[in-house]
Amino acid sequence: MTRILVIGSRGQVGWELQHALCPLGEVMAVDRQQMDLASPQAIRNEMRTVAPQIVVNAAAYTAVDRAESEPGLAMTINGEAPALLAEEARRLGAFLVHYSTDYVFDGLKNEPYSELDPPNPLSAYGRSKLAGEQAIQSAGAPHYIFRTSWVYSARGQNFLRTILRLVREKTELRIVDDQVGAPTWARALAGITARVLQQGVSARGVNLDHFQEKSGLYHVTAAGAVSWFGFADAIVAEARAMVGRKTAALVPVPTSGYPLPARRPANSRLDNAKFSAAFGLTLPRWDTMLSLCLRELADDPTLLTASAK
């Protein structure tokens, strides 16, 4: 049976991967207690103990603003740890899947970014994620690097859950309206990852030649695009029954009106054409996925007050 190691089991995507990957083999999921990505020895020990055939790294330092004051820690987890994972994967003859971000770009382009566009991150977080990409590409192990954007889910800390909380607590919310991207549901991202991996896994095991042939960098986001304000407005409109009639007024503001420590790209749109051509798959529109995620919250309202599991 194919052994699959999922790193970051308590995160949004890692939580969903544990379920999505089960049909492909034996899934072993670890969190920071079992594999601390800030510890090179912990990475080596866990990789060699589990000896996986597929490694899916869904863990990362994601505190974008805090990374400005902790650039070393962000680089250790997002830049150096993926290098070790790739080195160990090569040593074991395993395949590596890693997630990256739209924040590797500066957002100055007017069109969606392709994989051929040169990165130019604006933040310490973006620089650390780009370093991780480059380290994996240099390590020699077959891999998929999936750049995605604006990930949210019914669990954990994310924009959707923050908006649902704040519209009940505040009278007014100022939301940036000049940054555009594709909100991507963690469950859909995990599901399409499983479908891509299924193409190289059979009852006989992992087809490394298949993965080697398609090894590379891909953009994987929801279809369509919206601003943060538009996303917040859609959340409130869709979730009106959950949050009640009295909700905070949403006020669109420019980035300059909502200063934060880390600079964000104004254009976070990613072109998914390469991914679709390689695997014959696409994610639905962002608003379709939002409706599905909010339906999960409506069916289990306890998730609104629950922390990440």
Active site residues: 125
Rounded Cα gap, residues 93 and 58, in angstroms: 20
SS (H, E, C) 242-305: HHCCCCCEEEEECHHHCCCCCCCCCECCECCHHHHHHHCCCCCEHHHHHHHHHHHHHHCHHHHC
The beta-carbon contacts of 259-264 under 8 Å, at least 24 apart in sequence, are 260/65, 261/65, 261/66, 261/68, 261/69, 262/64, 262/65, 262/67, 262/68, 262/122, 262/123, 262/124, 262/125, 263/122, 263/123, 264/64, 264/103, 264/107, 264/122, 264/123, 264/179
